[in-house]
Structure 1
């Protein structure tokens, strides 16, 4: 049971943590539940905080950085197709 074309993933990023700088061929959205940090995308860096929603276009290099002293919790929503 569950969505056939959609996945929602919960991540916790420790203080000072970050995701790899990467890209993929699907767009996705990130909703910040707790904490703050930076999203690096394209040629810019933007601050994020709890309550923010971030849209990441397909094929755009991106990275999330927790540059705060507290953990950051976020939901990552992606297209997903079960085999």
Structure 2
């Protein structure tokens, strides 16, 4: 599990991973781009990102976006 903060108008790079991950929004609003689709989400939302799927997160709110990211444990 990891904790992230993204400033207003900030965003992640468009990227993918070989593993799945889940994101849980604690505070703020963001736009998720995944599989050529966009969805606007806010506090309390959970998003599932499948493995090897390009995605990007953009803070579209006026305050800092705070979220948790969960990934599988690798030995």
Q: Is this a same-fold pair by TM over 0.5?
A: yes
Q: In structure 2, what is the Cα distance between the partners aligned to 1:80 and 1:15?
A: 31
Aligned to 2:67: 74
Note if 1:33 corresponds to 2:26: yes
SS across alignment from 1:81: coil
1:2-39: per-residue Cα shift (whole Å, max 9, x none)? Answer: xxxxxx00000100110110001100000000000100
TM-score by length of 1: 0.87
Match runs of 1:3-82 below 5 Å: 8-82=1-75
Superposed CA RMSD in Å reads: 0.8
Where structure 2 has 5 or more consecutive residues not aligned to the other structure, the ranges are none
Q: In structure 2, what is the Cα distance between the partners aligned to 1:80 and 1:19?
A: 22
Q: When the two structures are aligned, how many residues end up with a matched partner?
A: 75
Where structure 1 has 5 or more consecutive residues not aligned to the other structure, the ranges are 1-7
**Which of structure 1's runs of 4+ aligned residues deviate more than 4 A?**
none
